[in-house]
Structures are given as C-alpha cells and as structure tokens.
Amino acid sequence: MDIYKLRDNFDAIVQRVESARIRRSEHHIVQIVAVTKYVGTQEIRALYELGQRAFGENRVQDLKAKTSALEDLPLEWHFIGRLQKNKINHLIDLDPWFMQSLDSLELALEIDKRLEAKGKKMQCLLQINSAKEETKAGVMPERAYDEYLKIIEETKHIDLVGVMTIGAHTDEREKIKESFETTYKIYETLKPHGAQICSMGMSGDFELAIECGSNMVRIGSLFFEGIN
C-alpha cells in the first residue's frame, strides 16, 4: 500500500470538503465517514493514523470481521447497508455508532424488539429513496415525514437522529441535485423532531451534497484511488 498516496487522497478530500462547506456557510460543519467496504484492515489502520475516526461498512459480516480485528482502536463504526432481519442481532452485538440505513417502520420495530431484549440503544438515520429508484432501499420522500414520526412514537430504544440518502444514479447533475434538495427539505421539517444529521454525498457527488446542506458525507473509492 502506498501510504503517501493515501495521505494525498485524504488531504485532497479534506480540502474539497472544506471549500464546499464554506460555499454553503462558514458555520456549516461536515463530518466525513470513510467507507472501507473495498479495503482491508491495513488501510483502515493507516487512515486512523492520519486522523480518521469514522468508518462505514455495508455488510454485517465485514463489519464484524473489521471491528474485531481493530478492537484496539477507538473507531466510530457506521452501518450503511441493507440489513436483513436475520442479521439484526449480529449488528446490535457490534454496537455500531450509527445505523444509517433504517429503511422502514417494520425494520425499526424489529430492531427495537431486539434492542429491548438486549437492554441496548441504537442511533439510527432514516434512509430516504430520494430519486424513487426501484433498485434502491429507503422510504419514499412523500412518506418520509410520517414514517419518521411513527418510528419515534412506536420505538423506545431507537434514537432517530436524522436522515440518509444516496443521490440519484445518473450523470445528470440536475437530477442528483434534485434528490439532495428533496432530502434536505425533509430533513428541515424533521429538525423540530430531533433530526441533526443529513447524511448525503459520496465520492462522485459529495461537494454538490454539501452545497445542498449535507452535514455528513460517506466517501469510499476516492480515499483509495491509486494506493495499490
């Protein structure tokens, strides 16, 4: 692994996030989650040495392997993938910092039951299918507000603190922007109900997402380009 290239990638990402957040507002703070689903523990350790603390994985198995191999480090783990019912207990046992991909009331109720049994809590974000794509998980935008309130009402152990979306899958910037704006509007209506995090933006569109109000970006491939 080319550690210097990794450092350069990291620096470039930080600078681009910094410029984008200032275009939004000088008071706008953005957290960077490094998505490590493409790499192993060596790369995660290297990023930790460079100052990165928040990491994201989209499969429970991988999260489990990596958290146990990296137990000695104080990392913040974010689960960002589709959660199958039979993996709920495994995820809870891993004590993730955030579960970003809560995509229905039904899943929330199921997780809540297991949390109750284990005497635990979990911070979650409601995933919104902001471009209404069939291949994507998430609540439809027009139902998101009601679903969010129902989850708050009907669960005791889920701490719902915001929303997450994946931008529209297209090369058209306008369409991607629209999906971010849709999500941000929903986020704003949910602020009085405790929403604090609007997680949107990946390697290809994080600057646009930040300009639309994102305060958490999930960046994977850009970190690791050319390091091997």
Ligand X SMILES: *Cc1c(COP(=O)(O)O)cnc(C)c1O
User: Which spans of this chain sit near ligand X (rule: CB under 6 A)?
Assistant: 35, 37, 58, 80, 166, 202-204, 218-222
Minimum separation from the CB atom of position 71 to ligand X (A) = 24
Contact between 219 and 34 under an 8 Å Cβ cutoff? The reply is yes
Q: Where are the beta strands (DSSP E) in 36-189?
A: 54-57, 76-79, 98-102, 122-128, 158-165
Q: Which of 47, 34, 39, 8 is nearest to 203 (CA)?
A: 34
Between 41 and 221, CB nearer to ligand X: 221
Q: Which of 51, 39, 47, 154 is nearest to 108 (CA)?
A: 154
Q: Which residue is nearest to ligand X (CB)?
A: 220
Between 84 and 146, CB nearer to ligand X: 84
Minimum separation from the CB atom of position 3 to ligand X (A) = 20
Burial status of residue 171 (CB atoms within 10 A of its CB: 0-12, 13-18, 19 or more): exposed
Minimum separation from the CB atom of position 119 to ligand X (A) = 29
Tokens representing 38? 């493409």
Minimum separation from the CB atom of position 153 to ligand X (A) = 27
For 11, the enclosing helix (H) or strand (E) is helix 3-24
Between 69 and 202, CB nearer to ligand X: 202
Between 92 and 219, CB nearer to ligand X: 219
Minimum separation from the CB atom of position 217 to ligand X (A) = 8
Between 50 and 222, CB nearer to ligand X: 222
